[in-house]
Chain A
């Protein structure tokens, strides 16, 4: 996977994770163009896009768009399921996740993503294991904050 973007229906970026080294300028250009392209598509359209030289897989959940760029030979459907699994993870963690959860706790969303995808590859597909790892750190945080 080359990168993952989360953005709202209004085109506001909510999360961005880049797995290929790109300059700040390129990142901005890509996300701007891509957000525009995807928002212009109708709901019944295909979830896959050949966009420039990239293959884009995207899916909308409520008001949020999840969008991944993958290599040409990658399996589009499994990428769609990666997005879905990530949403499931967020849902389980936040308890019926909504856009506001991700806006206010975006660093948590990043931590979950890092536990699920590492360097652009799915590292742990077991839902239980991902959440266990996050909870351990969270628990530590609470204990630590209590001590202070």
Chain B
């Protein structure tokens, strides 16, 4: 009784204060929490606080565990637990009680329970699963507060996989009579969209309704979703531009209720949201931009009040104006506005002014000119943030004239900063500017020295790599020698000083440069000086092991004079006993090479330093060995991808018990045995499970008397072994041969075994395409082992074929076998496609003499007579395409190039002559692809006078998606120095043409082929492309384009039997269920019709249909010979189709479901 009275009394003060103070129920400091807080504030040391909290947590723990604790007390306890957590102490034991409170408490206790949950857990926590039912119950409650709480927690954190469970209820709330519920429901869906976009895909129409909601709050909430949608795909929402402009006009005009005003500015949040949306819509789209000019101008004009919030709107407005298609009048006003920001005495506005300038100077560097003085002032500002932003701005306006000053400023900043993030960023920028604009060698080397000493060991590793390559490249002219000599001199003087402070990376750079180029200064100083410096460095305590091995490497190159040899011997003695194996090896090398002058001259030729290394990455010198091994019955090479896939499939399917393992004596047969023993290849296949032969063999050998009948070998030294799935397949290689000579680059001779003739079977195609993949990325070999990607500008001059450009070198000489591989593939496909081409009357592809000659060479060398025959047939067919070694297919329209129609008449069928100049692109399809399914031709971009046009086409190959980019040159002049780059982080793109395309003649079309596969399943990806080229006498130009590829382009049917399907189904762990609409037609059952529609649109394979159920399978292309399966189980439920998807990869069901939904909605 007294308890009740006490509670009533304690509630009274807050009730009384209700009228005066908006119901602020102040918690009395005498409560338990109050006591705790007071206790803590009275403490003086951290240690005492720890003790107190520990005690508090003990008592909380005791109370939550007690069955007598009421929910009401629990609520109070939970608040204390939150407090302890906030102070940084773990109260994880209370998490489960927070969930319990949310589940069982009355409305207000629940509120604290939900709050505690949202503070304690995050959306990946498994505890959240316990909350799903509670949330569902509360969402359906009749109490508005409960619904609000549930929606709040859902939009903060909800397990992604559980979204389908509550989605329908949340969706329902979109039509709730209370606007607060509708608003929260929209935001909850926004959250769902962010974490699982595909699951809300079907309610896009309801988003539109929310956009048109009569309550401005709901409409504002829906803009969050639209901002996201439009950002990802502006094209699909261009029709909303009008509505957005209208809404903005109304808001700016003050048509919203006064409630939405903030400091008498109408709905600033809404305005900013709309301005951002307009920026995305109007970007690079003149038509759409024109619709918004008026309202943008009005926004600028209205936002004149002197308050932060108007500046926020102005800033957003300026950004939008500079993002959409430019209008000079608006740009002027925006520039004026930026000026006001920059000149403002308020530091926040100044910062934003600098930021805006940084953004706009990329379009017009002159905009910075009026603010020169302010910028210089900001450069010496006391606030680092302002300084940093100013440097960012300067970085954007750097040119050859101002580079020294700007770099000096940046280095000055770097010397003072101790923040790793800014260091990494700025050091990269300095290095970039130095390479681009260096006025002279001395400056360049000095700047790079600062970069290395300041960037230390945190900088991006490509900075030293690029620097060394830059030194190593370049022809051996006076300028280059000077640069190198200067570098050497400056490093020698650095090493003579104190080296303790130099970062390890810098020391490594120094060692390499001294090793390579010390000879340049040799004449003028005593020969052992550099050696001595290096030896000193080697002995210093702070030198890391990695650096030591660089130093030893440099010494190996330098030990030419007697003094040096003596020094080297000294060093070797100390390091040949080192515990580190790398150091020991380097020391050994040094020892041997310093004594054997002849050997040293061969390994490290002094003259050869300047030539690029040529590496036969295809290992063609091993061809003989491999074909011998194949002839002897060895299993053909499989790429690691393939092996892995085999393993995966095997693991997925194997439901039988494991076989007995093989004794060690056999499994440990070493590589040397294999190399010497002629029977070894058989031995290999024996252990892979062909038990019949192996038994005999092992008996013959007498090495073991074990009975091996019926014993499968399952475990090998590399782990679980692949087994044959069916008799029809080629044997899987057992283990990757550990011999370094047999690298993953398999020689081309493996692709065509003499016995197998010309049938392009799956296996070989995969092997061939895995070779293709390798070509794109591994062929260029440079000194630092990194292929060149970005163009560098410093002192780069056009070089002839003979100079050291890594990729050029490789395409010239060392890659005969590579091009052979290309030709082989083209050839084997030519066979299939010639017929198609000639049937169509469009005999467009010819093989010129050059290529056929080369192919002939290789085919002969590979000893394949069939191919040779084919080649001649194709040649006789007489079309005119240039299948070059680099994989680029240049097609010259006959009408233009033919000077003598008479002779052409003999060679070509008449129709070819009459073809108009603007040929349909279809005729440029490479012959080997023309028989395959392909997409329409999509125009990508063209320049103003349409002298250059790019188009794309997708060809759906069984094991890859081939993306063709057609470069049509409609001008008389040829295009030179063409480089086509395609980038997309979600895709693996490998160019079938490995090296630069070089050129396209006037009035002709070139085709670039890329194979594309998805790294991870995603619904849609955006591919960015950049074509740079040069016209004769013209400046280098570039054309940009983008292309979106959808998941369905990467799907292929997966042909499995119903039995296999069942086994796979059980082994896949990621699943997803959803109802889809059924397709109804007159002639078919709804299920069949629906599955047929899916099959047609998404390349699925319908495995079986039994009654009202159907099973479907497909795979997602992923690298050559790889694929991720996805299985669908469909059941007809009343008027919808319940689909259950399963896959071994988590993303695939999600993305596939999206496309299924889309495909069915379209039908």
Contact = CB atoms under 8 A, between A and B. Distances in A.
B776 interface: no
Contacts of A145: 7-8, 11
A50 B385 contact: yes
Given A101-B26, A103-B37, A144 B106 contact: yes
B738 interface: no
Contact of B421 (A53, A105, A131): A53
A48 B26 contact: no
Contacts of A47: 347-348
Contacts of A62: none
A86 interface: no
Contact of A142 (B11, B20, B88, B312): B11
Contacts of A136: 145
Given A12-B87, A21-B123, A47-B347, 19 more contacts: A45-B382, A48-B385, A50-B421, A52-B421, A75-B315, A75-B316, A77-B311, A78-B268, A81-B262, A81-B309, A81-B312, A93-B22, A94-B21, A108-B24, A110-B119, A121-B187, A134-B23, A140-B108, A145-B11
B23 A126 contact: no
Contact of A46 (B72, B260, B308, B351): B351
A122 B155 CA distance: 12
Interface string B331-360: 000000000000000011011100000000
Interface string B184-200: 10011011000000000
A108 B375 CA distance: 45
Interface string B96-115: 00000000001110011001
Nearest to A77: B312
Given A45-B383, A77-B311, A144-B108, A122 B269 contact: yes
- Which of under 10, 10 to 19, 20 to 34, or 35 or more describes the interface residues of B? 35 or more
A111 interface: yes
B221 to A, nearest CB: 6
B86 A48 contact: no
13 contacts: A23-B122, A42-B382, A50-B388, A78-B272, A104-B37, A105-B26, A121-B187, A125-B262, A137-B111, A144-B108, A146-B8, A146-B11, A148-B8
Contact of B82 (A78, A93, A106): A106
A142 B14 contact: yes
B312 A135 contact: no
B714 interface: no
A46 B345 CA distance: 12
A51 B419 CA distance: 9
Interface in A4-49: 12-19, 21-24, 28, 42, 44-49
A42 B381 CA distance: 13
Contact of B24 (A84, A94, A106, A119): A94
A124 B183 contact: yes
A81 B86 contact: no
A135 B22 contact: yes
A80 interface: yes
A60 interface: no
Nearest to B152: A114
B33 A104 contact: yes
Contact of B187 (A119, A127, A142): A119
Nearest to A103: B37
Contacts of B640: none
Q: Counting chain B CB atoms within 10 Å of each CB, which of A106, A118, A126 scores highest?
A: A118
Interface in A41-84: 42, 44-53, 75-78, 80-81, 84
A106 B156 contact: no
Contacts of B157: 21
Main secondary structure of the interface of B (DSSP, over half): helix
Interface of B: 4, 7-8, 11, 14-15, 18, 20-27, 29, 33-34, 37, 72, 79, 82-83, 86-88, 90, 106-108, 111-112, 115, 118-119, 122-124, 145, 148, 152, 155-157, 180, 183-184, 187-188, 190-191, 217, 220-221, 224, 259-260, 262, 267-270, 272, 308-309, 311-312, 315-316, 347-348, 350-352, 382-383, 385-386, 388, 421-422
Given A128-B259, A142-B15, A118 B25 contact: no
Contacts of A123: 183-184, 187, 217, 221
Contacts of B15: 142, 146
Q: Counting chain A CB atoms within 10 Å of each CB, which of B22, B90, B316, B352 scores highest?
A: B22
B272 A75 contact: yes
Contacts of B348: 46-48, 76-77, 80
Q: Counting chain B CB atoms within 10 Å of each CB, which of A94, A95, A104 scores highest?
A: A104
Contacts, number: 191
Contact of A18 (B24, B122, B152, B155): B122
A144 B83 CA distance: 25
Top-6 shortest CB links A-B: A77-B312, A21-B122, A126-B259, A119-B155, A78-B312, A145-B11
Nearest to A123: B187
Nearest to A138: B23
B108 A77 contact: no
B145 A118 contact: no
B269 A45 contact: no
B323 to A, nearest CB: 11
B1 to A, nearest CB: 12
Nearest to B265: A81
A148 B4 contact: yes
Contacts of A23: 122
B381 to A, nearest CB: 9
Contact of A77 (B72, B187, B315, B383): B315
B111 A111 contact: yes
B282 to A, nearest CB: 16
A81 B308 contact: yes
A22 B122 CA distance: 7
B187 A46 contact: no
Contact of A21 (B18, B124, B220, B259): B124
Given A21-B124, A80-B308, A139-B23, A110 B115 contact: yes
A48 B351 contact: yes
Contact of A81 (B4, B188, B267, B268): B268
Contacts of B351: 46, 48, 76
A95 B784 CA distance: 67
A121 B224 contact: yes
B4 A126 contact: no
Contacts of B27: 104-105
A18 B119 CA distance: 8
Nearest to A137: B145
A46 B145 contact: no
Contacts of A45: 347, 382-383, 385
A76 B217 contact: no
A85 B82 contact: no
Contacts of A101: 26
Q: Counting chain A CB atoms within 10 Å of each CB, which of B20, B309, B385, B422 scores highest?
A: B385
B347 A46 contact: yes
A119 B156 contact: yes
A50 B390 CA distance: 13
Q: Counting chain B CB atoms within 10 Å of each CB, which of A16, A107, A148 scores highest?
A: A107
A105 B79 CA distance: 10
Given A53-B421, A81-B268, A81-B309, A13 B156 contact: no
A85 B265 CA distance: 13
Contacts of A108: 24-25
A107 B25 contact: no
Contacts of A85: 262
B350 to A, nearest CB: 8
A43 to B, nearest CB: 11
Nearest to A48: B351
A49 B421 CA distance: 13
A68 to B, nearest CB: 14
A45 B24 CA distance: 35
A146 B115 CA distance: 23
A19 B156 contact: yes
A78 B191 contact: no
Contacts of B7: 145, 148
Given A75-B315, A142-B14, A95 B155 contact: no
